[in-house]
Each structure stands twice: as C-alpha cells, then as structure tokens.
Amino acid sequence: MMWIRNFVGGEFVDPDENAGFDDVNPATGQVHARIHEASPELVDRAVIAARRALPAWARTPVPERVAVLRRAADLLAERFDEFAAAEVADTGKPVTQARELDVARALSNLRTFADVVATAGLESFLTDLPGGGQALNYAVRKPLGVVAVIVPWNLPLLLLTWKVAPALACGNTVVVKPSEETPATATLLAEVLAEAGLPSGAYNVVHGFGAGSAGGHLSGHPGVDGVTFTGSSEAGIHVMRSAAARVRPVSFELGGKNAAIVFDDADLAATVDGLTRSVFANTGQVCLCTERVYVQRSVFADVADGLVERARALRMGSPLDETTTTGPLISRTHRDKVLHYFELARRAGAEVLTGGGVPTLGGDLDSGSWAEPTLWTGLTNVDAPVREEIFGPVAALIPFDTEDEAVALANDTDYGLAASVWTTDLRRGHRVAQAMNVGISWVNTWFLRDLRSPFGGVGLSGLGREGGASSLHFYTEPTNVCVRL
C-alpha cells in the first residue's frame, strides 16, 4: 500500500506504521493509500524548519522568488495528468473537472501571483515641513513570517496554490496542513517546488486531522506568525481561538449559504444554464455554490422546470469516464449529513422536484458516497435546510414578488460569501448586486473570477480578503520609512 508522507525541511519523513490512516476514494469506498499522521513533535519540526528557512528566503530578491513560482508552474504542467489523477483518486470528482478546473487553476494561481508580486509597489509621499525642508515617507514590504496554510477537501490543489503562491512570492515560508480526506496533491507539490529551486524548509506538509491533531497543533503553534484557513465556519472558529492567544493575523474563507435572485426579465435559458452550474458544480461542494434560489413568481414554474430537466440530465458514474458530469460526496460521513437535510426538508413539507435519495450505479460505485442532485420547493427562510449550509447537490427554490422582497430574503442569513443576480435590466443588476451582504456578487454569471480582485466573505463566511493586492496585504507587513531631507 502506498504511503502519503509528511514533508519537513526539504525531505519526506519515513512513516510510522502505527500512526497512519486510510485515504479512501469516495467514488468506490476503496482505500487507495495510507496517510502518515503527523505527531505534535513532527509539526514542531516543520515549524522550526520553516523558521530556519525564513531569513534567507525573505532576503531573496523578488525576481528570484517569482522565478521559482514560474518554474514550479512549468513543472506542474509537465506532470499535469499525474496531478489530475491524484485529485480524482482523493475526491472522486470527474477527471474532466480535475483537468479543466483544479489543475488548470493551480497553474494560473502560480503564474498570476508571480506577476502580481513582481509588479507590486507601495505609495510614497514627499511632505513639506513647517518652517522649510521636506520629508520623504515610503513603505517597504516585509514577509509576515511563517504562515500556517490549512486547506479543505473540495478543491484541494486549487485552494492550496491560491494561498501558497502569494505567501511564497512575498518571502514567507509555509507549513501546509491539507485535509485528511485529500492529502495527495499537497504532497506532490512539495516535489515540484523542490525541483523548481525552493529552498529546503520553505514549504512543509504535515498530515492529520483538526483539533487534537496536526491542524490544532499547527494553528496554535507559537512559532507561527499567521494563519490562512479555508473550511467550515465551525472549524474556523476553533482556528481563530488558537490564533488569538498570540494575536496573530488570520485570513478565513468559511462556509456559505449563497443566494441567487432570478427576475422575470432574465434570459431564462442562460439563467438555467448558470444555475445548473452554481447549484451542482463539484456535487455542490464549493463554498460559492448556490443553495437558495429566489425566483420572481411569474417565471417560477419555467425556471423550476428548466432546472429539473437539467438536474436529471446530469450523469453520475466513474470519475475516469469523460462523459461523467457529477461525482460523489467526499465521504460517507458527509453524505450522512446531506441525507439528514433531505429528511429535514421532507419533515418541513418540502416538495421534492427531483432527487432526494441515493442512486444505484452498479459495481464498485455502489460502495461510494453518492447522493442524487436534488431540488425542493415549499420551504421558507425559517426552515433548517434553507438556513444552514448543506454543502451538497441541492437547492431550495422560493418565489418572490418584488425586488425589495428578494433582497430581504437573500440577505436573511448569517452567512455572506456570494450571490448571483439574473436580469437583463443592467441598472437593476448593479443595484441589487451592491445591496447583497456578501464578498462577491455576480450579475448574469457565476464563478467568474479575476485572480487580481479581492475575495472573501462576511459574517459566518469569513474574515479578510485574498487575491491580487489583497493577498499582499495579508502576507506582508509594511514598514514606513520617514527620512528628513
């Protein structure tokens, strides 16, 4: 059985046979590797290695640092299919998605942040002093230090490189804790970065779970200078408590209960196409996915019928079959959670338009963590399936009459990550998008991202912003220098 090992100080650590756990392919339920769980002592070694590597890497000129990222992108491209296969084995997602989204976006992350950091600057001010003379104020960026990077299982490589690329480009060193469900690509990236010329200790990987395991040890480690975390809101609260003891900066992208608003003047064909993606992409396991769809009453039936037709056309099957559109949920445990909400919806009086159960796919796939794409009507904002994040292939369709009502319904949530507005009235699109209490509002599209723009959430959806210059703000500390001339 293959072992997925920890990577500390530029070397893979031989696994302790008694400190391992299974890496399960959620499409089949079969174990395909063993994962070495990092002990507290090994986490400590990783942080020490990162701290030792920090001074030299921080002093490395920016052009040399970003050149390492560009070489890493080129090397990752050469191993494109290997990374895609690792994502498929860990997540069960269709291989077409792994190629077109996960690995492709990882390449973009590495290259984009190399460009962002290479061209970044800071303001300077020439000040006239009372009584004559001048002073020059300018700022220099210094790395934040040793950064703990904790990433989830839904888009493992994409979100890992989204954080690691700017962190390294800014001169930080990192200790990565990938999800226990999806450890493979973080480990493969260690090989790529080492070959690209990243110094030993600048990138470390420790495997394990959250509280009481590698994640808890890392987020609370006194040698860590900042924590960037993507995951559930509940887990984020625990990480924040750990970081608070030393008043360390944190950047959190947490859960979402995202809304879409469909007005009666929307292009319905384009809207149904967009909603199909936003509800069911990655089996609904994207923090940006739509779980609440508010539709103006006059077109409610048309939108519902269109979404049902599209949901029933989705194809569940082997992740290696290029005609498969929809993969499994990440685990049986997570599927139990999703199925629990299916039951809560039934108790609340929901009408199941499509789905609502577990499919029979045949063969090994029947041992996987599958759930049917599901749509409900008959629920309201007071019902748990509409208020709480499910993180599965599901949405509630709810009618509205007026723009003000739609905005109020969409904003009636403790979360605030994303929203989408569907209308051909451009003025209304701008107006409603800006009225959403979220970090990102789309108009007539979904999941369209410019990596230079700020990204993050409000409320239970997170704290801080990353992307473009916003990433530089988190991963560096500016020092102002004032010189009297």
Q: State how far the Cα of 39 lies from the Cα of 17, in Å rounded to an integer.
A: 13
Query: Is residue 234 annotated as part of the catalytic site, yes or no?
Result: no
Out of 37, 253, 291, 372, pick the active-site residue.
253
Q: Catalytic one among 37, 180, 181, 287?
A: 287
Contacts of 313 (CB under 8 A, 6+ apart): none
Give every CB contact of residue 221 below 8 A, 6+ residues apart in sequence.
43, 44, 47, 148
List helix spans (H) across 156-299.
Answer: 156-169, 184-196, 214-219, 233-244, 268-280
- What is the Cα gyration radius of the chain? 23
Q: Is 287 a catalytic residue?
A: yes
Residue 422 CA, chain-centre distance (Å), reads 24
Distances (CA, A) of 253 to 15, 65, 156, 289, 460: 32, 26, 14, 14, 9
DSSP 8-state symbol, 281: G
Alpha carbon distance 432, 125 (integer Å): 38
CA distance 61 to 63: 6
The 203-205 sheet, strands edge to edge = 11-12, 7-8, 203-205, 173-177, 146-150, 226-230, 250-253, 462-463
Active-site residues, by number, are: 253, 287
